[in-house]
Amino acid sequence: MQLNRILIASITLLIISTSSLFSQTTSVPSEAKNKTAPFLFTPETIKTGEQIFNANCKSCHGDPGKANYAKLNPIPKDPASPEYQKNSDGEMFYILSNGRGLMPNFVNTLNEAQRWQVISYIRSFNKSYKQPPIKSTGEVVKTETAKMILAFDKSEKKVFATITDSVAGLRKPLPDITIKLFVKRTFGSLLVAEASTGKEGIAYFNTPADIPGDSLGFLSLIAKTQGNSKELISTLNEKLGVVTKPKNLLDQRAWWNVNKMAPVWLIISYLFGVVGIGITVVYILLQLRKIKKINDSAT
């Protein structure tokens, strides 16, 4: 009896502890909590947000307010629910960026503007919501005339980005802007380096030397500025990667290849079998001929 009780108690404990493992609320850092959107939510941002939501979130969360979420454990929360709407914009942004429990992160899938657009769509289900005033986060590109150029410094052997702004016809460097450098891969972009621009508006990146490139060693690089309304993007194709010769699986003899490229041992075994049986049958036929000959000569 006692053993049973202990067993039940431990199973209950186990269930509680595992379920809490999935549903635990990730603590959101306070500075992230207070983060605000860099733009005002408008019917346009809501509409774009809806499209992004339908493409990336709906499969689990369903339609906001309709409770038709996927049957997962724990259940994906309804973003339109009052419970969820209690989160601040910054908290929502943090969860959306970093993921939580079973929910994946979207930091490399959606850019910042897109993430905020999703939040603007989710907030549209909350009638009592009032967007907090937009806070300036400091080092962001605020002007429409800013430009970023990504290039390769041959003497330093480093990739660098230059951000300038056009002021009265002159190009003025923009310092202290954080840039993320990605390498284009087959499925999405891989973050490889992060750097901030100096006084000259230049940021140097320390890129790893062992990234697989194409057959000539070229990498497709993408630089993106972060934390701003106007996202600057610049790309560069440079011979920075490891030369990777794509391996064609059809170049080798294999089960899955065409007849001509069959494994040698298989061809030999098959022919051995067929020829072996053939020789035996011919031998038997010759024996029969012998019998006939014996009798023909006798008569």
Partner 1 sequence: MAESQTNIQQDSTVDNLIKDLFRTVRLNKGFNIWMGFLSVSLVICLYAYYIQLRDGLGVAGIRDYVSWGIYISNFVFFVATSLVGMLVSGVVGLSGQKWVTPLTRIAEIIAVAFAAVAGLVIVSDMGRPERLVNVFIHGRVQSPILWDVTVVTTYFLISLLLLYITLIPDLAYGKDHLEGRPKLLQKLYDILSLGWKGRKAEVKILKKSTIVMLILIIPVALSIHTVTSWLFAVTLRPGWDSSIFGPYFVSGAFVSGLSCLVIAMYFFRKNYKLEDYITDFHFDKVAKLLVLVSLVYLYFNLNEFLVPGYKMKKFDAVHLRELLAGEHALLFWSVQGLGLIIPIILLLIKPFRKPLPMLIIGIFVLAGSWLKRYIIVVPVQEHPFLPIQHEPSNFMVYSPTLIEILISIAPIIMVLMIISVLAKLFPIIPVWETVVHKGLIKDETEIENNNHI
- State whether residue 296 is helix, strand or coil: helix
Q: Which CB sits closer to partner 1, 251 or 296?
A: 296
Residue 203 contacts residue 159 (beta carbons within 8 Å): no
Does 287 interact with partner 1 (rule: CB under 8 A)?
Answer: yes
- Stretches 46-54, 103-111, 239-247, 261-269: which one binds partner 1 (CB under 8 A)? 261-269
Q: How far is the CB of 276 from partner 1 (least distance, A)?
A: 9
Does 290 interact with partner 1 (rule: CB under 8 A)?
Answer: yes
Does 277 interact with partner 1 (rule: CB under 8 A)?
Answer: yes
- Stretches 39-47, 119-127, 145-153, 275-283: which one binds partner 1 (CB under 8 A)? 275-283
| Phi, psi (degrees; rounded to nearest 5) at 181 | -110, 125
Q: How far apart are CA 106 and CA 89, in angstroms?
A: 16
Q: How far apart are CA 282 and CA 252, in angstroms?
A: 36
Question: What is the enclosing helix (H) or strand (E) of 132?
Answer: none
- State whether residue 195 is helix, strand or coil: strand
Of the candidates 49, 69, 255, 275, which one interacts with partner 1 according to CB under 8 A?
Answer: 255
Does 281 interact with partner 1 (rule: CB under 8 A)?
Answer: yes
Q: Which residues 157-216 are close enough to bind partner 1 by CB under 8 A?
A: none
| Phi, psi (degrees; rounded to nearest 5) at 222 | -130, 125
Does 251 interact with partner 1 (rule: CB under 8 A)?
Answer: no
Show the tokens assigned to 154. Answer: 């041959």
Q: Which CB sits closer to partner 1, 237 or 287?
A: 287
Of the candidates 3, 170, 249, 294, which one interacts with partner 1 according to CB under 8 A?
Answer: 294
Does 258 interact with partner 1 (rule: CB under 8 A)?
Answer: yes
Show the tokens assigned to 1. Answer: 């009896």
Q: How far is the CB of 10 from partner 1 (least distance, A)?
A: 25
Of the candidates 135, 266, 272, 275, which one interacts with partner 1 according to CB under 8 A?
Answer: 266
Residue 141 contacts residue 203 (beta carbons within 8 Å): no
Q: How far apart are CA 86 and CA 28, in angstroms?
A: 14
Q: Which CB sits closer to partner 1, 157 or 293?
A: 293
- Stretches 120-128, 159-167, 170-178, 270-278: which one binds partner 1 (CB under 8 A)? 270-278
Residues 6+ apart with CB under 8 A from 126: 80, 85
Peptide bond into 74 cis (omega under 30): yes
Q: How far apart are CA 170 and CA 185, in angstroms?
A: 37
CA dihedral sign, ordered 100, 105, 111, 114: negative
Counting residues that bind partner 1 (by CB under 8 A) gives: 27
Does 272 interact with partner 1 (rule: CB under 8 A)?
Answer: no
Binding site for partner 1 (CB under 8 A): 255-259, 262-263, 266-267, 270, 273-274, 277, 280-281, 283-284, 287-288, 290-292, 294-296, 298-299
